[in-house]
Structure 1
Amino acid sequence: MYVWLRLARMIATAKSRGRYRMGEESRLTFRCLPTDIDSNFHLNNARYMMLADVGRIDIFHRAGLIALARRNRWAPMMGGLQSVYVREIRLWTKFDVVSTIETWEDTQVIGRHRFVLEDGRTAALVLTTAGVYDSRNRAFVKIDDIVAELGSDAQPRPPSAEERIFMDSHAGLRKLAKAQSL
């Protein structure tokens, strides 16, 4: 089952998982298939990112962000990610992708995608930074405004030390990439 079938399954089962509320998690179960593996017969590093996308889209869909974005001509956009692999996910292994919105600051939201084996151990962790771009105003939307429009009164917590390091590293790498594209 390639990404499109996994995405279709996620959308088809979204109602049964209920509306996503800030502070909750998205938990999707997958199996490592032959189309997912590399030459070591374990989950290919690119598949982690693709499956994190499915978890993130699940949150966006169930929270109502996709519908809100379409109405306002907004585009959710990834800024960057960092991943760490601590255990392999071998061929045919069943695992969960547990996705959460951790916190936000101004126009940047931090997401976490934890790949969990059946015994509860973490196989990998992916941190993401993202924002929502308003094409009419040519600017990113403040996350507080989006949260309010979604009908939530959730407040962000201060970023953890690890999240702050990730955010700072992302900002530095982004600055480097922009400087090299001139």
Structure 2
Amino acid sequence: MNPIIRFVITLVSASLASRVGVDDVTRTRMRVLPNDLDLNLHMTNARYLAIFDIAGMEFMIRAGLGRLMVGRGLRPLIGGRMIRHRFGVRPFERFTVSTRVLCWDDKWFYLDQRMETGRGVAAVVLTKGLVRDAGRAQTVRPDELLRSIGAAREAPSITPEIARWLAAEQMLRVQDDC
């Protein structure tokens, strides 16, 4: 199934599903289809990222951010991901992606997402995402977004795994003198 079709199906089902809090976990269920496969006959690496995007959108919609974003012209953007593949997901295998917010700072939300099959956790990904105001060309602070949906709270401390990831990410920064 084309990722855009999966996205539309998830958009509709998330809009009809019960609302979740920012501390909750959403579970997005799917199945590996033939066009998800690579030459090794398991889900291609690129498809994982599209599926994690779709699962993240489900979380945002169910948390109440979807209507807010459409109404204010806001756009979610991914700033980085770190993924660990544990084993390949097979043709027609069912899987579930769990999504939860670990923490946030003055710019970014940090998500933990896991793809699970009946055989265990197939992949783990940490995602760094933000929301941009397209009209004003600026980032909307996570605390402002949460306040707008009635979920204001103090930001949880940056977790150790996020701190290590951010430190490692510094190695990939483009230097001005390169």
Q: Same fold judged by TM-score > 0.5?
A: yes
**Cα distance change, pair 171–77 in 1 and its aligned pair in 2 (3 A):** farther
Normalising by structure 1, what TM-score? Answer: 0.88
Distance, in Å, in 1 between the alignment partners of 2:144 and 2:102 is 17
Match of 1:23 in 2: 23
Deviation track 1:13-40 (CA, whole Å, cap 9, x = no partner) reads: 2245311211111101111111011111
Aligned pair 1:101/2:101, yes or no?
A: yes
**Structure 1 stretch displaced more, 34-43 or 157-166:** 157-166
Structure 2 gaps of 5+ residues are none
Percent of residue pairs identical: 24
Alignment of 1:59-70 (within 5 A): 59-70=59-70
Aligned pair 1:57/2:57, yes or no?
A: yes
**Structure 1 stretch displaced more, 14-23 or 101-110:** 14-23
Maintained 8 Å contact 1:84/1:125? yes
The amino acid that maps onto 2:33 is L
CA RMSD in angstroms comes to 1.9
The amino acid that maps onto 2:146 is V
Maintained 8 Å contact 2:42/2:91? yes
Distance, in Å, in 2 between the alignment partners of 1:139 and 1:166 is 25
The amino acid that maps onto 2:101 is I
Aligned pair 1:155/2:154, yes or no?
A: yes
The amino acid that maps onto 2:99 is S
Maintained 8 Å contact 1:22/1:154? no
Normalising by structure 2, what TM-score? Answer: 0.90
Secondary structure of the residue aligned to 2:87 is coil
Match of 1:45 in 2: 45
Match of 1:126 in 2: 125
| Displacement of 1:159 | 1.8
Aligned pair 1:117/2:117, yes or no?
A: yes
Count of residues in correspondence between the two structures:
178
| Displacement of 1:78 | 0.9
Secondary structure of the residue aligned to 1:43 is coil
The amino acid that maps onto 1:145 is E
